A and B are shown apart, each in its own frame.
Chain A
Amino acid sequence: MSSHSPEHRGLRRLGAVVLVLALAVLIVIGVTSYARETRDFHPQAFAAAPAAGPRGGALHAGPSPESTQVESAGRPGEYKETAQALYEGQQLFQSMNCAGCHSDGGGGMGADLMDARWFYGHEPRQIFDTIVQGRQNGMPSFGGRIPAYQVWELVAYVRSLSGLVSPDVSSGRNDHMEVMPPPMSLRMKSRLMVKPLPPVDSAAVKGTTVPGVAIHPDSTGAKGAP
């Protein structure tokens, strides 16, 4: 009967009010602190300033006259690791036929993008240059043909293939061959292996024709280890 005394009822009412207020505050904090990704419908258009005249029709392997222009123009735009960028990058990877050489990340005629080996560097700007300038041994230069923001989206997706991008922004579905992120152990390993790797200077590997030369000794060592 004591619980029905007026003082207890008052305390209970106070408790309920405090609870409701606390909930309201939590909801307000939750709603206002939720950062929504904003979409830019007018991104910077081109990696290179539009050329003075039309360029030739064929894609070039390795650095081409266009890509030197690209180099001088720098890398406009912004690298973003967002769900939007990764999804768009995935779409572009399929539709621009990157998969034609790199398969769905596993490699084939082109380099394997799911393992920890990066012949020309894993930093976003290095991958950007690989796409825009092309590399020796077959990677064509896409400078002037893909807008810079789309190159950055491709960079984000390519990096996600080997687990360099946080899994919570990677695409939840795949319309093509299933590209699984590497198993957790491999992902950890690839992070460990990639971290100490110094940024590969593309000039340093220019002379090499054997791709294996650019591999960090750690990664080859790790491969052979049980």
Chain B
Amino acid sequence: MIRVLPGPQSPLDPAGIQALRIEHVWWLFFGITAVVYVVVVAIMLVAAIRRRNAPEPLRPEEDPERERRLIRIVAAALGVTVVLLLVMLVGDFTARRSLRSLEPGDPLEIQVTGHQWWWEFQYQDPIPSNNVTTATELHLPAGRPVEFVLRSADVIHSFWVPNLAGKKDLFPGRLTRLFVRADRVGAYTGQCAEFCGNQHASMRFQVIVDPPQRFQQWLAAQRAPAAAPVTAEQRRGQEVFLGTTCVMCHTVQGTPARSHVGPDLTHVASRQWIASGFLPNTRAHLAEWVADPQRIRPGVRMPLHPLPPQDLRALLEYLESLR
């Protein structure tokens, strides 16, 4: 099938079974409404042009033959409309039904928490110490069904990866579920789809669909505690991290930093994006973000960090060692 709108954030470029079903419904609706539109406009144009040239016809009540013909035409148009609407309704219902059930297979449970204004992902494991928490970057195994358990830490958000599934809202104090099976390896973009405050528009995340083996490697690497600082600069950076505001909000597994207000930074250097998908994870961007997040994303919960330059350098050195 030809892709009219390919891309990493397009519902018309499905990378999974759920998105494929949604795409089918989309094309069904688009096809029917496009044909109806063309037919209606054509009839209107024909009527408008013919009326000008033709002589004034008799009124229907004066011409029983013409009245019968008009009734038949209107009834036929009504019948066609009802049938078309019914086809769309059945298509919608069947697609929706299929989205509500989990694909067969060993499902992976991922807890998604929406925060103002970033995404947290926790990979659930029967052994709690094997749970993996990350942010902004969601890794999925290709071909394996995934059950997302969605919750919100503050206000209503909406989880939307157009290439994988439809939107699903996240409510504070309530769980919602979404089933996804990603089939095509690649990188896709997700986005909050429910207005949630100042930085709603920049509340993005990246979805990376890996072959199952590569996914397992990634998960194993994420399970490990944070790398211990090696160089003197990195050690100093860790002291800065634990001695200033960073420690009040962030977690680095294996250190006393265990707060859950901001994203887990245990393996922050392994991610491609920071600041909820707003900046690529380079040293320059990290420095910019740590020093003054309010300039980059005004209103964001992270406060300013006017650190002396040598402390900032050490901190960056430490953060970049967290692979």
Contacts and interface: CB of A to CB of B under 8 A. Distances in A.
Same complex for A and B? Answer yes
Nearest to A39: B299
B261 A146 contact: no
A147 B239 contact: no
A146 B298 CA distance: 18
Interface in A21-65: 39, 41-43, 45-46, 50, 52, 54-58
B243 A54 contact: yes
A135 to B, nearest CB: 19
Interface in A91-119: 91, 95-97
Contacts of A142: 248
A175 B172 contact: yes
B311 A147 contact: no
Contact of B239 (A43, A54, A144, A145): A54
- B interface, over-half SS: loop
B73 interface: no
Contacts, number: 61
A152 to B, nearest CB: 12
B132 interface: no
A144 B244 contact: yes
Interface in A134-168: 142, 144-147, 149-150
B64 interface: no
Interface residues of A, number: 25
A50 B311 contact: yes
B291 to A, nearest CB: 10
Contacts of A150: 303
Given A96-B261, A145-B248, A175-B173, A41 B294 contact: yes
B69 interface: no
B154 A45 contact: no
Nearest to B311: A54
A50 B307 contact: yes
B298 A57 contact: no
B20 interface: no
A150 to B, nearest CB: 6
A50 B306 contact: yes
A44 B217 CA distance: 44
Interface of B: 154, 172-173, 236, 239-240, 242-245, 247-249, 256, 259-261, 294-295, 298-299, 303-308, 311
22 contacts: A39-B299, A41-B298, A41-B299, A42-B295, A42-B304, A45-B303, A45-B306, A50-B307, A50-B311, A57-B243, A91-B154, A95-B249, A95-B260, A95-B261, A96-B259, A144-B243, A146-B245, A146-B248, A147-B303, A149-B303, A150-B303, A175-B173
Interface of A: 39, 41-43, 45-46, 50, 52, 54-58, 91, 95-97, 142, 144-147, 149-150, 175
